[in-house]
Structures are given as structure tokens and as C-alpha cells.
Amino acid sequence: MFTTKNGEKIFVIDSHIALWDGSPANQRNIHGEEFINCFYGYHKISPKEYYWPREKFEKYSEADLIKDLFEEGYVDMAIFQPAYLGDFYKEGFGNLKRNWALIQQHPDRLIGNGWWDPRNGEGGLEQLEREAEMYKLKGVKLYTAEWHGNSKGYKLSDPWAQRYLQKSIELGIKNIHVHKGPTILPLNRDAFDVADVDDAASSFPDLNFIVEHCGLPRLDDFCWIATQEPNVYAGLAVASALIHTRPRYFAEIISELLYWLGADRILFGSDYAIWRPKWIIEQFMDLELSEDLAAEANHTLSLEVKKKIMAENCARLYDINIAKQCARLGLPIVEEPVGKDAGVGVA
């Protein structure tokens, strides 16, 4: 829980966290090594005092996660968004079983999403059924850039992806978190294309599509899609970490999102353990939009808006009752929001 300077308590749901194993023992090949190196490069956008040594970054413990999120990081609830990456890591980079074990110790705090990959065909659909039941899945994290044998990525508009989306509805999995990484085939295309999200969002209006990293580096394309499709949301993971080194730039991103999507479709995420939520949340809660940006956004970054981003929007998607959750966790009760804002600034 974050306490403002005026003493107001803010409930926090971190919609994007991970418990990964990128250590050499789990690396399947050079790709596994390069992948965690790349993450470590991202990690270095943190303030210096938050740097981890490489070994710890490759594999940290469950106790680290609990401390960094719930004891020091103001986070009240968090959602695992596992990236499997089976072609790079022997036991997977993220691992549902390991997540589940921790969820059982902290059932009021942790939610575990699963994943699927349309290239696994029928077998993958059966696996999804099993995992949906075993892990009570309400959401999945999709990594469209994931390598899989000879394939270097897939699109949500692929026929098999459509079958998996249909299956997700049947299984009660309604939150589809999409990491739009650079799928690289065919090689001559602009690889960050987000158009397939548009296609999937209009074909499956009952599903929520949370585009992680708000489509960066195709923020403009993403915003365009999100204005067309009411079931498309922006996940702030990665973008939020820019707040330290590039506050003005982060403010520009937030004002674009507020202008195009409004305040009800933006979800906070730290992308732990690339970054620890503590400093991101402190800086975000401190942030105000400059006059010119607020005018462009047609919104201010008021406390009401911040509360929506920090928890209320995510709570709606995951059927979390914040007041009840406070009671369960023994926290001061935060009042339930009055309701969605009536579309201020939504195009």
C-alpha cells in the first residue's frame, strides 16, 4: 500500500511480475544466455542503488520476490506473467509449477497467469485445459516473438491462434496479455507490427487484450487500435521504468495514453524482476503532467487517475474487490471506486 503525502492510502496491483530462472544451469543454448543478458541491459535503466549483481539477476529466490513486492515495494497484489521460452531454457524461463507453489503460500496476494502457443496444435489445447483447471487461470501471457523450432514468431490472426483464443473463452480465461515483441519473419517486414491485435480484439469482443509495454516502439499504431477496440488495454510494464532516466518522455507516453484510451484502460506493471516496483511507484505517485502535456492529454494525472492505473482498472479485469481484499490482508479499507469515469477524453 502506498501512502500519499496527505496520508491517503493507495491500493496497488502490479499486473506484470515474474519469477524466472535464467541461470546458466537452466540455459539450453546461447540464446538463453543472450536473452538474460538482454534483460540485464534493461535492468540497468534502474537507479544505481537498485542494481542487482548478474548472478542474482539470473536467478533470485521466492523470498526476494515477496520482500521486493509486498514488504518494500508498496504492492498489495501481483500477477505472474510467465514467459516460457522453452527453446532457450530447459525448464522454461518462467515456470507455472514454481509460480503455483508460491501462490499457495500467498493466495490473497498472488495471481498466476498461464501461457499458450498456437504452434503446439491440438496437444497444446489439451495442455491449456489441464493447466486452466490446475492453476485456476484467469489470464494468459502470450509472447508472439517466441522461437519455436524453425518458427521465429506467430501472429494472433493465425488460424491456430484463433482456436486458442476460442478455447480461452471456453475455459474462463478472459485476460489475454500480449507481449508485442519483434516477430522477425518474414524478415523483410516491419517486425513490430501490432495489427494482429486489432484483428483478434474485434473477432473476440468477450476477451480483454492487454498490450504489454503499450505497444512500444509502435505506440502510435497501438493507440490507434485501442481507440477502435474498447477491449484493448495498455500495460505499463517497461514504459513505467523509463520514469527514472527519462521522466519527460514517460510523461509524454502517459499523456498520449490518457488522450487516446482515457484513464480506465491503463494498467500499472513493474515488470519485476527487471525492475523493482518500489522506485517506480514512488516516482509515479510523485509525477505531475506539465501544463502543455496535460492540455494535450485533455487529462491531468490526478490522484483519481493514479488510483485507477495503480489498481482499479486491473481489479475490474480480474474481479478483485479492493475493499474486501483490504480486509483479507488486514489493511486499512480503501473505498470502492464510484465507477468508471464516463469516458472523459476517450475518442
Partner 1 sequence: MEQDMNRPDRLEQVRAALDTVTDPEIDESVTALEFISRVEVNDDNDVCVEFRLPTFWCAPNFAFMMASDMRDAVTEIDWVRSISVRLLDHFSADLINRGIALKQDFRDAFPGETDDDLESVRLKFLGKAFERRQELLMRYLLGIGFTAEWMTRISLQDLMGLSLDSEGARLRTLYIFAWRRLRPERPDADLAFVALNEDPLEPSQLPNYLRKIGGVRRNAEYNGLICRSLLAERKAEMAGVSD
Under the rule (CB under 8 A), what is the footprint of partner 1?
A: 30-31, 34, 37-38, 40-42, 44-45, 182, 184-191, 216-220, 223, 242, 245-246, 249, 252-253, 256, 296
Q: Least distance to partner 1 from the beta carbon of 158, Å?
A: 16
Q: Least distance to partner 1 from the beta carbon of 342, Å?
A: 24
CB contact at 8 A, 143 and 177 = no
Residue with smaller CB distance to partner 1, 34 or 304 = 34
Q: Least distance to partner 1 from the beta carbon of 33, Å?
A: 9
DSSP per residue over 116-155, as a string?
A: --GGGHHHHHHHHHHHHHHTT-SEEEEETT--BTTB----
Residue with smaller CB distance to partner 1, 69 or 273 = 273
**Strand 208-212 and strand 77-80: pairing?**
unpaired
Residue with smaller CB distance to partner 1, 259 or 268 = 259
Report the C-alpha gap between 165 and 200 in whole angstroms. Answer: 8
Q: Least distance to partner 1 from the beta carbon of 220, Å?
A: 3
Closest CA to 345 of 275, 261, 273: 261
What residues does 235 pair with on adjacent strands?
Answer: 212, 267
Helix (H) / strand (E) containing 234:
strand 232-235
Residue with smaller CB distance to partner 1, 44 or 328 = 44
Residue with smaller CB distance to partner 1, 136 or 246 = 246
Residue with smaller CB distance to partner 1, 140 or 142 = 142
Q: Within a 10 A sphere around the Cβ of 4, how many other Cβ atoms? A: 12
Q: Least distance to partner 1 from the beta carbon of 7, Å?
A: 36
Q: Least distance to partner 1 from the beta carbon of 278, Å?
A: 20
Half-sphere exposure of 243 (CA within 13 A, CB side): 26
